[in-house]
Chains A and B, each alone.
Chain A
Amino acid sequence: MAPSLFSQLSTLGACLALLYGLLLLWRRNLGSYVDAFQGQSVVLAVLFGVVGYFGHDPELYFVATVFVALKVFLMPYYLRRMQDRFAVERERDPYLNVPASLILAGLLVILAYAVMRPVVTISSLPTRSGLPLALALVFIGLLVILTRKKAFTQVVGFLILENGITLLALLGTYGIPLIVELGVFLDALMGFLVMQIFIYQLHGTFESIDVDQLNQLRH
């Protein structure tokens, strides 16, 4: 049974998004993280359009536009401004080194497939084969937050996690009701702005954005 074009495109998109996520585990300089996030958001926006077209849901085009405005232009703009400020910082030695993180990411993809097995068997949508990849993206976002030392990387990891959940909603249910979707975007934007403010404050008080320095509060 040859998979339909819709199914192939959605799986390909999910795969590309996952690969952009892997970039966060591989590269060390902050600029490549912003590029990865931006590229991933572009892929997701295109996927919104694809699902809207094949799924006959014109609401998704509107959501895609808001998504592009927010995650391809607005957030990367602020991220790059931050990155210019902290350009000297690189992920020199994360808590888990790069090859180990990458192999762990591969194992997390297998875990995501195991967890999503009942979901994939039950679903009858053509986009269902991309669902485990979306969950894997969520896990990889978590991995980045837990194992990376720079606050900047943690924020980008969080944004990747959110992208993964958006992808999950998109592939699993062709998006969620519009009012909730808009609320989610608003929350994402506000959360990001607050995190951004905090990183500047962090740098102001600690002279670095290294999370390792945050050891004043013990027990």
Chain B
Amino acid sequence: MMSFLLEIGQGLLALALAPGLVGFVRWIKARLQARRGAVPWQPYFELAKLFGKDVVISSNASWLFRAAPYIIFGSTLAVACLVPTIFAPLPGDGVGDLLAVVYLLLLGTFFLALAGLDPGTAFGGMGSSREMTIAAIAEPTIALAIFGLALGAGSTNLGRIVTNTLANPILALSPGYLLAFAALFIVTLAETGRLPVDNPSTHLELTMIHEAMILEYSGRYLALIEWAAGLKLLIFFSLLANLFVPQGLATTLTPTSLLMAGFIFIGKLAFLGVVTAVLETRVAKLRLFRVPELLSVSFVLALLSVISSFLLR
């Protein structure tokens, strides 16, 4: 019961931190590009503004258009509860399974693509088709990459994976782990719409993927979707951080350890945010034809990780 509440709390904490993370990455990018940039907590103001505005819906839109933001937000929040952010879920919980995480993420992507198609605009359709091209290769890669870790731990439960890595720290240097990390990092860039796959701050329709799908949204719907996007970024960062370097997760449920774990978690997020910002500043956006090539590389890396974990047991 206690752990169940803690998991909900974990999810809410992630929800609270997500816009801050997005703003932080934007701020670092601005500084690297010799601009002043907005303050790191600007997205909070943006969300507040959006929640106050009216919603304008195209007359061609169906119930899907109205329902999609809630589905997307709900599924992403559910994933945030399942992923280890502050503490490692106890194995006996029956929650935090890898397949549940992957399917919930896919649910969100699916409905987002449908919502892009629903109003019948050209840009929405274009964005949805591009998103599906990327998701077709990226989604299996997430599953494979974490599966490589799961093979070592003997279970697809994320908690068990984390405790396994905590028990044998030398595993973090094994080829299976390193390959899975590389694969998951590339997929993070693809799934969260970061360069070199998609430019999150573009205003040109020709280069939009995520932005094109949500072009028709306004008001509270847009706020929910933007929040869900930021939450997705946080989820992927916490997967990267806590599955591969789980040191710092609270193993006991005392307030002090949870507080410590919270600070360490924010530190890990900040580090990954800086890395992402630097990478985004350095690379140019890939042409759409080249994106499947990059994703195939990550797929093969994940496949190699599974092979080496499986066959080197």
Contact = CB atoms under 8 A, between A and B. Distances in A.
Contact of A98 (B168, B296, B301, B307): B296
Interface stretch (A102-110, A154-162, A166-174, A207-215): A102-110
Of B179, B295, B303, most A-chain CB atoms within 10 Å: B303
Q: Which 9 A-B pairs have the closest CB atoms?
A: A99-B296, A102-B296, A15-B175, A106-B303, A98-B293, A106-B300, A102-B300, A99-B292, A129-B312
A18 B304 contact: yes
B175 A12 contact: yes
Contacts of A109: 303-304, 307
B297 interface: yes
B175 A2 contact: no
Given A22-B297, A98-B296, A99-B293, A11 B175 contact: yes
Contact of A8 (B174, B292, B303): B174
A78 interface: no
Main secondary structure of the interface of B (DSSP, over half): helix
B244 interface: no
A141 to B, nearest CB: 16
B120 to A, nearest CB: 31
B169 to A, nearest CB: 11
A26 interface: yes
Interface string A99-122: 100110110011001000000000
A22 B312 contact: no
23 contacts: A2-B170, A8-B174, A11-B174, A11-B175, A11-B308, A11-B312, A12-B173, A12-B174, A15-B175, A15-B179, A15-B304, A22-B300, A26-B293, A26-B296, A98-B292, A98-B293, A99-B292, A102-B299, A103-B299, A103-B300, A106-B300, A109-B303, A113-B311
A8 B299 contact: no
Nearest to B303: A106
Contacts of A103: 296, 299-300
B281 to A, nearest CB: 22
Contacts of B311: 113, 132
A2 B172 CA distance: 13
A11 B293 CA distance: 26
Interface of A: 2-3, 8, 11-12, 15, 18-19, 22, 26, 98-99, 102-103, 105-106, 109-110, 113, 129, 132
A51 to B, nearest CB: 17
A106 B174 contact: no
A17 B178 CA distance: 14
Contacts of A113: 307, 311
Interface residues of B, number: 22
A22 B301 CA distance: 10
B203 to A, nearest CB: 30
Given A99-B295, A102-B300, 6 more contacts: A11-B175, A11-B312, A18-B304, A19-B301, A103-B299, A106-B300
Nearest to A102: B296
Contacts of B179: 15
Contact of B297 (A15, A18, A102, A132): A102
Contacts of A12: 173-175, 178
A109 B312 CA distance: 14
Contacts of B137: 99
A109 B179 CA distance: 14
A210 to B, nearest CB: 21
Nearest to A97: B293
A113 B310 CA distance: 11
Given A18-B304, A98-B293, A113-B307, A8 B312 contact: no
Contacts of B295: 99
A49 B209 CA distance: 48
Contacts of B293: 26, 98-99, 102
Nearest to B293: A98
A22 B293 CA distance: 12
Of A12, A102, A113, A132, most B-chain CB atoms within 10 Å: A102
Contacts of A8: 170, 173-174
A110 B308 CA distance: 10
Contacts of B178: 12, 15
A15 B173 contact: no
B141 to A, nearest CB: 11
A106 B299 contact: yes
Contacts of B174: 3, 8, 11-12
Contacts of B299: 102-103, 106
Nearest to A113: B311
Contacts of A19: 301
A11 B170 CA distance: 14
Interface string B279-313: 00000000000001101110111011001100110
A110 B307 contact: yes
